[in-house]
Amino acid sequence: MKVLMTGAAGGIGTRLRTLMKGIYPTFRLSDLHRPKDLANDEEFVQADLADIKQVTRAVEGIDGIIHFGGFSVEGDWGTIHQANIIGCYNLFEAAHQAGVKRVVFASSNHAVGFYPRRRKIGIDEPVRPDSRYGVSKAFGEAVGAFYAYKHGMRVTSLRIGNFADHPVDQRRLAIWLHPEDLVQLVRIGLEHPDIRNEIFYGASDNERAWWDNESAFRFGYKPQHKAEDYRDHALAEQAKLPHDAIGDWYQGGTFCSAEYDSELGPSQS
């Protein structure tokens, strides 16, 4: 399999470059900027996702794509629109035109951030984005479904929680994703024969999880890392944080409380 990973210079992409090296015969990298530590044996194609011609060049000859490119935090609409709306559509369209068979799309927990922490959700609840960034991830999931059902592409959307070596506060005890567990999810998306259009939660074995990840387990996902192993440190760090009436109520945390001006108050459902 010949695989392309976009967003190769970002935080997650940089880590996956190391963890996934050697798994596939061709592992091409792409980003808006060339990684500073690019090795001589790594293939890199520089591309702006908002430029369809550049994206077309990047996906040429590829069988599967790990799409981690785009703007990875909240931003103004112009930035989100170019990188995560136009860029995401360009990626799927170029992949379709090039005959790419599979795409693993980096969605986010922020596509459903406005569910309260007291509620456990699966993949069938309507999206509740908590930010412009979250809106773009909900859009990406919809685009992936379109290319899956209209054009037969096999698409996996990963609603990534907090990607890190260990959880650093109470919220992250529920949404933490160890890098090695992410590799497992990505490989399921690229390799499992029964994938059509799936949504998985990008989370490790978290006892306090707010998400029902049965869809991932059904495809063989077996997370190897437990958030509770870091409980004492995470709770000690939580005690240092200021109270946030909105952010502490909703799963999306500070993405929910930022710019929040609703007169209705937190939703109970």
Query: Active-site residue among 89, 115, 133, 147?
Result: 133
What are 175's two structure tokens? 């949404």
For 89, 111, 113, 208, 254, the CA distances from 171, given in Å and listed in that order, are: 31, 16, 12, 9, 11
Q: Hey, which residues does 5 pair with through a beta bridge?
A: 29, 66
Q: Burial level of 6, CB count in 10 A (0-12/13-18/19+)? A: buried
How many other CB atoms are found less than 10 A from the CB of residue 103? 27
From CA 17, how far away is CA 28, in angstroms rounded?
A: 10
Report which of 23, 22, 87 is spatially closest to residue 54, judged by C-alpha positions: 87
Q: Which residue has the tokens 């060049």?
A: 57
For 73, 212, 220, 234, the CA distances from 134, given in Å and listed in that order, are: 9, 19, 27, 25
Instruction: Based on the residue annotation, tell me whether 133 is a catalytic residue of this protein.
Output: yes
How many other CB atoms are found less than 10 A from the CB of residue 239? 8
Catalytic residues: 133
